[in-house]
Amino acid sequence: MMAVLRVFLFGIFAIFIGLLFMGIGRKVIARIQLRYGPPFYQAFLDVGKLFARKSITHNFVMDLGMVMALGGLLATMLFVPIAGHVAVKTSTNLIVIMYLMAIGYLGMAMAVAASGNPNATIGVSRALTMMLGYEVPFFTVILGLIIVNGTSSLELISQSQAGSILNWNMIKFPLAFIAAEIALQAMMGEKPFDAMIAPAEIASGPMVELSGKYLGLAFLTHAVSIFVETAIIVNLFMGGASNIFTFVLKQFEIYLITIFIEAVFPRFKIEQAVKFLWTVPIGIAVLQLLLILL
């Protein structure tokens, strides 16, 4: 009973923080673009409005796929330590986390491909290609950190950076941090790697056929993915945190870096993006790996 309540609370917390980040991010981008921007709680209003609408569904596969996407990401979140607390106390294995994150994408791909719109299919194929692009440098970075710490448990990696700020992996292995930041930009689907959404080319890609409650589920999935991915980076490179407040603050710093880069770049074509991801971040990550091994 307590376990179910714990999982539920962690889920609500992840959704809440993700939506809050989305709203503040929109305000920051608006100020960069010399306008006022929506209020910082705009994402909550959007999700509330979307869930109050009727939605069109094509078939059972679309319903299942959307729920699978949100479920996959929530399952990933259960294994990520947040300032020392974990929803499922068994293990925080990094390989399991990366594996479960792919379920989110696959669920969305299944839902959207069932709708039959060629725009959506092109968008989904781009999303899966992009996943191929960013997983390789990210895994190289993780490999380096696993070798250094001798364990693949995220909790132990974050605890090994306790002490002073000089113990953080961000300072000890800066090249790995840079490569992970570039891969994070692609993981979160922000420019210059947002070929998946691309409104001007494929009419918003996967989200073109979603309406009402399905779009609300897509928003929630995006919010949870922001939370999970920034939490992984904070644990890997910034030493976790001692309390939840500091943890969320560190997550917000990582998210702000993503927003600042997003505001000033156009998007790559998908071939250019994968070529870039397979040359520059991998080079930096391999360099870091060699420095670790030697």
Partner 1 sequence: MDAPSYTLSKIAERDNLAVYELFFGPNHPGMHGNFGYVLEMIGTEIVKVRPNAGHLHRGFEKLMEQKLWVQNIALVPRICVVDPDPNEVAYCTAIEKIMGVDIPDRAKFIRTITLEMSRLTSFLMGMGALGAALGLYTPMYIMMADRDLILDLFEWLTGARIYHIFNIPGGVRNDLPEGWVERLNEVLDHLEKRLIEYDKLVFENPIIHKRLKGLGYISKEEAIRTGITGPNLRASGAAYDVRVDDPYAAYPYLDVKVITQDGGDALTRAVQVRLEFEETIKLIRQALKEMPDGDVRLNLGNLSMLKVPKGEAYAKVESSKGEFGYYVVSDGGLKPYRVGVRGPSLPAGLLYAQKHLPKMKIDDVAAWMASLAICPPDIDK
Residues in touch with partner 1 (CB under 8 A): 32-35, 118-119, 122, 191-192, 194-195, 198-204, 263-270, 272
Kindly tell me which of 107 and 192 has the beta carbon lying closer to partner 1. Answer: 192
Kindly tell me which of 239 and 281 has the beta carbon lying closer to partner 1. Answer: 281
Residue 197 beta carbon to partner 1: minimum distance, rounded to whole angstroms: 9
The residue type found at 163 is: G
Kindly tell me which of 59 and 272 has the beta carbon lying closer to partner 1. Answer: 272
Cβ neighbours of 241 (radius 10 Å): 20
Residue 276 beta carbon to partner 1: minimum distance, rounded to whole angstroms: 10
Closest by CA position to 205, among listed 217, 215, 213:
215
> How many whole angstroms separate alpha carbon 234 and alpha carbon 248?
9
Residue 199 beta carbon to partner 1: minimum distance, rounded to whole angstroms: 4
Kindly tell me which of 130 and 154 has the beta carbon lying closer to partner 1. Answer: 130
Residue 42 beta carbon to partner 1: minimum distance, rounded to whole angstroms: 17
Kindly tell me which of 270 and 289 has the beta carbon lying closer to partner 1. Answer: 270
Kindly tell me which of 176 and 218 has the beta carbon lying closer to partner 1. Answer: 218
288: tokens are: 């870091």
Residue 192 beta carbon to partner 1: minimum distance, rounded to whole angstroms: 6
Residue 211 beta carbon to partner 1: minimum distance, rounded to whole angstroms: 15
